[in-house]
Amino acid sequence: MENEMQLDITVTSGRPVEDLASLGQWLRKERDLAGGVSLARKPPSEEELGGVWDVLSVAVGSGGTFAVLARSLEVWFRNRPRTTIKIKHGENSIEVDASGAKELPELLKVLVEAGSVE
């Protein structure tokens, strides 16, 4: 994908690991995003036996994939009113909950533009 960039998504909810896995499965169903979606584990602390899923990485290119991602996230939010996602690109990030899901196309655009200025 030309001009590909990576967006890292984290989930805050009552079931963050399950919701992150659910979001990963949901985004993989989108043909334009499927090959660029992966779950990552954070390194375990000394008290933990193993790491947990904590980041969903999505590789996107310019143009249509942002619209596909925004639309897909908006639909995914419909049954998750108490869920918040944080999308990070480089050092910049945005946080969105279900009430702000319709603003995702514009927020993603601002996030990516801010990251390209650095």
pLDDT tens per residue, range 68-106: 999 999 999 988 889 999 999 988 999 999 899 899 888
Query: How many Cβ atoms sit within 10 Å of the Cβ of residue 39?
Result: 15
Q: Is the pLDDT of residue 1 over 50?
A: no
pLDDT tens per residue, range 19-65: 999 999 999 999 999 889 998 876 666 666 656 668 899 988 766 78
> Tell me, what's the pLDDT at 118?
45
- The overall pTM is greater than 0.75: yes
Which three-class secondary structure string do you get for 37-101?
EEEEECCCCCCCCCCCEEEEEEEECCCHHHHHHHHHHHHHHCCCCCCEEEEEECCEEEEEEHHHH
Q: Nearest 5°: phi and psi at 38?
A: -145, 145
Q: Is the pLDDT of residue 117 over 60?
A: no
> Tell me, what's the pLDDT at 10?
92
SS3 6: strand
Q: For residue 92, what are the β-bridge partners?
A: 89
- Between 58 and 118, residue with greater pLDDT: 58
**What structural domains and CATH numbers belong to the chain?**
5-43+51-117 (3.30.70)
